[in-house]
Structure 1
Amino acid sequence: MTVSATLAANEAIAARRAAGQEVLALGFGEAGIPVHPLLSQRLVQAAGQIAYGPVAGIEPAREAAAGYWSRRGIPTDASQVLLGPGSKPLLFALLHAAEGEVVLPAPAWVSYAAQSHLLGREPIRVPVPDGEGGVPDAALMDAAVREARAAGRDPRIVVVTLPDNPTGRLASEESVQALCETARELDLVIVADEIYRDLVFKDVAFPSPAKWAPERTVTTTALSKNYALGGWRVGAARFPDSDLGRRLQESVRGIASEIWSSTPMPMQHAAAYAWSDPAELVERVAMARRLHGSVAKAVAEVFAAVGCEVRAPQGGFYVWPDFSPLRAVLAERWGATTSADLARVLLDEFGVVVIRGDAFGDAPEALTVRVAVTGIYGESDSERLAALVSNEPLEMPWIAEALEGLRDKLKALVS
């Protein structure tokens, strides 16, 4: 097991900057905006809370999380909620509790497969519907699961991401409904990672699997993306109100009791405030959504302009360009025939940090990379805050300069 590709990218960025080297940091998936002062105040006020809390989380935080989901069309009681120190440990505990092998969309966030491997299980990767992301194609999943079971394997869980990391795409209602029907037929638990839910760019009906398969869908979220609180480490899981849900919840609670005991108490108090959706924080998320959407779309256009295939991002802060149309020139000029080669050339020759596509389960020979756009929001909190509050973030001089620099580097790469 090696360090996660995304965290390794962050360390590489820091090392290069410490050495005085120029870096265009498009690798690490951090939200890139300053913490809201009201959230900082809540954390400071709770700093003296040092006792262990309940394994599942304190009641105010669980009630707030239940209200968060209920206001988004998924009625939830606090008894269905379990907190953890970030959504990653909750996801790992869920994979452990489900016991069987995991079905993943291809591509998918790097940690899903890594966590499966930590449990000694090889994930079953299923392509996503054409032009979409985050959800396996239902028909292909049906075939893959039946084939796996016929071969003696035991798939029991499917993980989906809405909207998706790494593609930035939001699966259609039709694809999610089809997946839910197939999961029910195959008796698969659905884990819906909705950590980017509040960062969908357009006001559209959100296709949460909990709407169509409420009895078997576990939904997870956290504060790391919409509020840029990645380092605070607090997340929540919502379990279905069913016998299956209660069994899973009790198993995850037992796992939590032996691994993290309880979520850090000060973080829970801050989370209780954030998940209550106060007006000031709702406005902050709206500004973040505008910033992410504007910059992600602009970055996608830069890649498209040099000949990449790239779908317009629909949520989060990622772009997923495919350099396949430029395969001949990349091979001839740089000897780049894989996504690993491409990422290496971008870093070594141009100082551009991206994550290679095969880290997300794409074929090694596919010339895809994941681009996290938040690295160009600014070098200081004052710059990042100015970009956040601006109605025209692309006009911020440092963002415009970064986009122009990226354009020049890509032209030099492929021309």
Structure 2
Amino acid sequence: MSDRRATAPGRFGELVGQPAAVEAIAAAARDAHLAGGGVGVMTHAWLITGPPGSGRSNLAYAFATALLSEDGTPDARVRAQVDARTHPDLAVLASDRVTITIDEVRRLVTASQYSPSVAHYRVIVVEDADRMTERTSNVLLKALEEPPERTVWILCAPSEADLLPTIRSRVRLVRLRVPEPGEVADLLVRRDGVDPALALRAAEEAQSHIGMAHRLATDEEARARRDDTIRIALDADTVPKAVRGAARLLEVAKADSVALTQEREDAERGKALASMGVAPGGTVPPQLRSVLRQLEEDQKRRATRGLRDGVDRVLVDLLSVYRDVLLAQLGAGLAPVNSAWSAEVAAVAQRTEPAATLHVLDAIADARRRLPANVPPLLALEGMLVTAALSRPA
């Protein structure tokens, strides 16, 4: 990593492998402040795209921090407020639901109409703009067509193709790329104090997904669950083993989802009880129980999405394994994702043909496509694992 990137102020320093995007965003924030926030200096709407884990939301909040700081240089106090989502001129939409609701966007559009109270700009961040339906997107479109003078919208999505053409025509696009594993490993070592060898393995196995690499590098249980996923899949060489293995993979996905959400849910409940003046373990007054019921319903919806995301993480890991199998069969000479499993991958590669491996890769991709279509996760996993088992000769 270059010295410039390592010493970049604020959150910009955590964005690896994105020098062009960082420079474009940082320059826009500086120019906006140099001109005193005048009309026409800042584009009022931005779209940051890039694959999962590339740092879309990190860049969005770095931009927000710079815009909300005094001179365009991220300020520690403002950065803390942005991190806590407590800055008075920042509004955020980061939905845990499968889709962003029209009411959520309407509330955000209303918030965008207020003049900034302490900063030059009011900044609105939408983390998963691709989750909006067409009807919801049209509500946002109206706000982008007639923006208040000092409101800046920052949208994030995997690709510009995920948004309506009418929205794309009203935003400035910033594309992020997939960073190299070495760049992600360098961040983990520098920022989190991770051992270099572990950091590189985590970055490779996470396929340069920064958040997942951090989790694998710092959470031994997460690493163990990933190892279980690969072991279960590689051991499933008969249909009965595949059916049993699918059930075990679902258990792994559930455990992974719970590990990600449990701490957050406990904190949310504790905060809600504290706001009601109820001590831990105390009785909630009947007139306040509806608040907790609403929180519990939100958490149930999040759990549904969390399980689907957990199953998808399992499938992404298996895609990387069979990608390594195919590379070994073809003698491609490319670096494997799962170097710790090279002996097992080589054994599978010797027993099967490249055409069969491609069939398995297609089955995994099909399983990923079925999840958003409400196919039961167990059924999707069974179909994928049975295909993998049948690809191996008896």
Same fold (TM over 0.5): no
Normalised by the length of structure 2, the TM-score is: 0.34
Greater strand proportion: 1
Normalised by the length of structure 1, the TM-score is: 0.33
Q: Which has the larger radius of gyration?
A: 2
Higher relative contact order (CA 8 A, sep 6+): 1
Greater helix proportion: 2
